[in-house]
Chains A and B, each alone.
Chain A
Amino acid sequence: MTQRAHRAFDPSLLLLPAFALLILLFVIPLVWFFVGVLAEEGSVGAVVERFVDVLTAPGIVNALVTTNWISALVTVLTLVIGYPIAYYLANSTGWRFALVLFCIIVPYFTSVIVRTYSWMVLLGRNGAINQTLLSLGIIDAPLQLLYNKMGVLIGMTYVLMPYMVLTLYATMRSIDTNLVRAAYGLGASPLYTFRKVYFPLSLHGVISGALIVFILAIGFFITPALMGGPSDVMIAMLIERAVEITLDWTSAAIMSMALLAMTLVLYVIYYRVTDVRRMMGA
């Protein structure tokens, strides 16, 4: 107790400016918007009714289903493609490590719009990919790679890949290579060792990475808006339309709250997972 008195100040004070900014620019406007918009409905009963109306409207239900479906697919794709990349990173050194890490990190620092337009150039009807495939004679007619679900999946998977790879890499890096060696020494084949030792030990990273990618994916807006087709409407796009075009702010508020709720629930799960990880001492 007396020792505490000698401390110059509590280091958590350093968080104050960030907190102030967050509350002023995020929490207050958000609450203001929700309360202001919903107050126009009059009674609490009317608000609840409106909630049910909005969240059961076919267009919005569709968008919610699409959002979750696309997010789930993107999560799986980033995992399937990202796992081997992270494994390579965790088990290499020197210039190979630096090169792969550079390729993962650089897009991470580039604007999402720039990256999305780059993909549009590549994937378009007369884009580089179709041109190449046509000239090689692999296809007869250009593939429809843009303005459909394929385009959305390619774009979002690419944008979200660094989050998956870096999360997996951090976990894999902490796996004791002696354990893999021990498994070999005790007679396990490489495949058995991967299934029973390496993959289970990397599972925390898989779950964390999947949750991060999914949380980010359900709020995606620019990439699906630019690369998707008319049927690939995600919830964030509906919110934007409600605010900018139809000026139906009540619906926008309700949809935003639904999205926020989903995100928070997933975040709690993510927090629990990382907490468990700390308990395991990994």
Chain B
Amino acid sequence: MPPLRRATDGLGAISLETVTKRYGEEAVVDGISLDIKSGEFFSLLGPSGSGKTTTLMMIAGFANVDGGRILVDGEDITMKSPQARGFGMVFQNYAIFPHLNVFENVAFPLRARGAAEADVKRRVGDALALVRLDRFADRFSRQLSGGQQQRVAIARAIVFEPRVVLMDEPLGALDKNLRYDMQVEIKEIQRQLGMTVVYVTHDQEEAMNMSDRIGVMNRGRIEQIAAPGDMYERPVNTFIGRFLGEANLVEGNLQQAAQAGSTLRIGDNVLLKAPAASPDLAGKTVHLFIRPERVAISTPGPGDAVAEANSVAGQVRRRSFLGNINRYVVAVASAEITVDVQNVGGPRFEIGDAVVLTWAVTDSLVLGS
């Protein structure tokens, strides 16, 4: 039984309609449109300068919108002040009020709304229990660790049961282990309370771990919106493929493009089987996308050629031991293909070894340049 009331009214859906932000001539956010569903955990992911924080600031009301509209549950809030929007907000550096203790920090949004004292006590107590800080109510921010300050910021953002909570790189200042724990915790709170979360981050693992859907931004535009698994498996372009985890993008010439399957030529004489590609790409330079963990590596030997798989010879050029995986970089014709092998006691290969790489055609994608 969650301590705070769970949102079940289906409110908190956000729509952006060709939202634009300009600084001088340059559009830092260039006409983006997206629909975030009620109760969804949506991440805006992108490198620095991609416009993701500016987009969040426009949703929050701290940055003016230069074009387009922002709607919440169908109501246009583009011109509303931040306080009138009623969103919960977690800031990059927590922004805990240093002159107020933990209790008063969490009570701040309630007191600002003129809540009754008994109500304040109950809700703050519930929110602090939810983030497991009940015993720290009298502390000040300087007496708290980074993770605890983060929890105060989260409790403060959810205490008034907002339908929407905005988070601006909230875990950026924490170390790696703590960051993972906090990801799990934030996700758990969001699931319990059912609010819509718009989460800005540049960390793709964080986005993949927490989000229902991710919108990847680059140079002020949204490149792709998809669930983490779909985006990881089926990126729409090389930028997404590269940005979300390790990826092989083997450059080659598309010899033939057909619905049944296409053929890619790398180097002078290596032909790779590839999945269906748009006929427009025929004869052009394209990238064959394949994740390193989808490629199998083995010693050359007599084997049955499988119709639906590629099997190419290569030579180990580099090897890295990453603990749970062995990573090989294998030279195949003019290309280098990275292969990740789970460290489960299989054969090891050394630099210079002749090997054969095998992968299913359906695990690969043809991406235009």
Contacts and interface: CB of A to CB of B under 8 A. Distances in A.
B122 interface: no
Nearest to A176: B95
Given A197-B97, A282-B98, A187 B109 contact: yes
A189 B83 contact: yes
B99 A178 contact: no
A180 B339 CA distance: 50
A176 B91 CA distance: 13
Q: B83, B86, B111: which has the most chain A beta carbons within 10 Å?
A: B83
Contacts of B108: 183, 186, 188, 196
Interface of A is mostly: helix
Interface in B190-221: none
A20 interface: no
A185 B62 contact: yes
A181 B61 CA distance: 10
B348 interface: no
Contacts of A186: 83, 88-89, 108-109, 112, 156-157
Given A181-B62, A182-B89, A187 B95 contact: no
B176 interface: no
A181 B160 CA distance: 18
Most buried by B among A187, A197, A280: A187
Interface string B151-172: 0000011001000001000000
B343 to A, nearest CB: 44
Given A183-B108, A281-B142, 12 more contacts: A178-B93, A179-B95, A179-B97, A182-B89, A182-B95, A184-B83, A185-B83, A187-B83, A196-B108, A200-B99, A280-B99, A281-B98
Interface of A: 176, 178-179, 181-189, 192, 196-197, 200-201, 280-282
Contacts of A181: 62, 91, 95
24 contacts: A176-B95, A178-B91, A178-B93, A179-B98, A181-B91, A181-B95, A182-B95, A183-B97, A184-B81, A184-B82, A184-B83, A185-B61, A185-B62, A185-B91, A186-B89, A186-B157, A187-B83, A187-B109, A188-B112, A189-B83, A196-B108, A196-B112, A197-B97, A280-B142
Contacts of B102: none
A189 B112 contact: yes
Interface in B32-88: 60-62, 81-83, 86-88
A179 B141 CA distance: 13
Nearest to A189: B83
Given A178-B91, A188-B83, A189-B83, A183 B112 contact: yes
B367 to A, nearest CB: 39
B135 interface: no
Contacts of A178: 91-93, 95
B112 A187 contact: yes
Contacts of B92: 178
B156 A185 contact: no
A256 to B, nearest CB: 40
Contacts of A176: 95
Contact of B82 (A185, A196, A200, A281): A185
A186 B94 CA distance: 13
A196 B86 CA distance: 19
A33 B153 CA distance: 61
Contacts of A280: 98-99, 142
Nearest to A192: B112
B149 to A, nearest CB: 13
A183 B104 CA distance: 13
Contacts of B160: 187
Contacts of B86: 187
Contacts of B87: 185
A186 to B, nearest CB: 4
Contacts of B83: 184-189
A196 B97 CA distance: 10
Nearest to A281: B142
A188 B98 CA distance: 17
Contacts of B81: 184
A280 B97 CA distance: 12
B364 to A, nearest CB: 45
B106 to A, nearest CB: 10
A176 B99 CA distance: 12
A178 B88 CA distance: 15
Given A178-B93, A178-B95, A185 B60 contact: yes
Contacts of A183: 97, 108, 112
Contacts of A200: 99
Contact of B98 (A184, A187, A201): A201
Contacts of A188: 83, 108-109, 112
A22 B70 CA distance: 67
B280 to A, nearest CB: 47
Q: Which of A178, A184, A186, A201: most chain B Cβ within 10 A?
A: A186
Interface string B223-255: 000000000000000000000000000000000
A194 to B, nearest CB: 12
